[in-house]
Amino acid sequence: MKFTKAHLEAYHRDGYVVVRNFFTQEEVDLLYKLAIEDDIMSKKSLDRTDASGLKTKLTLWYALDESLYSKFARSARIVNAVEQILNGKSAHYHSKLMQKEPRTGGAWEWHQDYGYWYKNNGFLLPEMLSVLTALTPSTKENGCLQMIRGSHKMGRVEHGFSGEQVGADIEKVNEALKIMPLDFLEMGAGDTAFFHCNTLHASAANLSDKPRWSIITAYNLASNKPYKDVHQSSHTPIVPFMGDLLTEEIMSISDYADFLVK
């Protein structure tokens, strides 16, 4: 459950690190159950069509509230790790519930998160990262995350559109794949991946009969105030949640969580 110095070193060397059992099965079961029964989550979900026309679903929101999802995003366990990585006070950029449904869930094309965040949201420094916690097992069969190990060292690559998604310059991706290892991040429920905003990543479609759900919380160095983004949370230092997710009152997300709309 602890983010160690060895994890931190691996993150800086490889551009990502997976911490096994960072959350317990009970904790992720609670979040997963809440998420699949949550009407607001499904009402606010968006489809993103991949290059082959398959759709993958996500719900994205910016504001932190008193819901269990927000307490999770602010949990001291994650925030301590994030602040070791960023080496300073962190802010919550956004959270996303990723819903890759059995047999239909589309792919995520190769991209860097910063490719989009730099261009569209005006964050000048890549002092940002994503934290993906698997709510269900994530395997090659159901389209697990893939990373090009060490690609964060390339810096930001140009991005354009690929289907409805923002994709990295494919020539650069293909060259990177010739000289850097491609890693498939097979994860159990409760495993957490921390990845640098310039690490090239993708995932294949889910053609299996098992869902692949995860929650991704994204963080910014609080001092890296974007010049375009209007969301207050992206540069407001986080107040970590020190309590126990399992004994908290279970509150779902509110209608006012500042959802991304299409």
Ligand X SMILES: O=C(O)CCC(=O)C(=O)O
Summarize as ranges the residues that interact with ligand X (CB under 6 A). Answer: 98, 108, 113, 145, 201, 203, 214, 216
Nearer to ligand X, 89 or 184 (CB): 184
For 6, other C-beta atoms within 10 Å of its C-beta total 9
Least spacing, CB of residue 49 vs ligand X, in Å: 14
How far apart CA 203 and CA 199 sit, in angstroms, is 13
If the CB atoms of residues 93 and 241 are measured against ligand X, the closer one turns out to be: 93
From the CB of 100, what's the least distance to ligand X, in Å? 6
**By C-beta, is 89 or 156 nearer to ligand X?**
156
Residue type at position 2? K
- Minimum distance from residue 165 beta carbon to ligand X (Å): 9
Provide the minimum distance between the beta carbon of 45 and ligand X in the complex, in angstroms, as a whole number. Answer: 14
Q: Taking the complex as a whole, how short is the minimal distance between the CB of residue 58 and ligand X, in angstroms? A: 7
CB 165 within 8 A of CB 50: yes
**Please, is 156 exposed, middle or buried when counting C-beta atoms within 10 Å of its C-beta (0-12, 13-18, 19+)?**
middle
CB nearer ligand X, residue 163 or residue 256: 163
Rounded to an integer, what distance in angstroms lies between the CA atom of residue 135 and that of residue 216?
Answer: 10
Specify the residue, 208 or 251, whose C-beta has the smaller distance to ligand X: 208
- Cα separation, 3 vs 207, in Å, equals 33
Q: What gap in Å lies between CA 168 and CA 210, rounded to an integer?
A: 28
Which residue's beta carbon is nearest to the bound ligand X?
Answer: 203
Q: How far is the CB of 253 from ligand X (least distance, A)?
A: 18
Burial 102-125 (b: 16+ CB within 10 A, else e): eeebbbbbbbbbbbbbbeebebee
Q: Looking up tokens 């994205």, which residue turns up?
A: 60
Cα 68 from Cα 97, distance rounded (Å): 13
CA distance 225 to 108: 27
CA trace torsion 131, 197, 228, 71 (10° rounding) = 10
> By C-beta, is 129 or 257 nearer to ligand X?
129
Beta carbon nearer to ligand X, 36 or 251? 36
Smallest distance, ligand X to C-beta of residue 113, A: 5
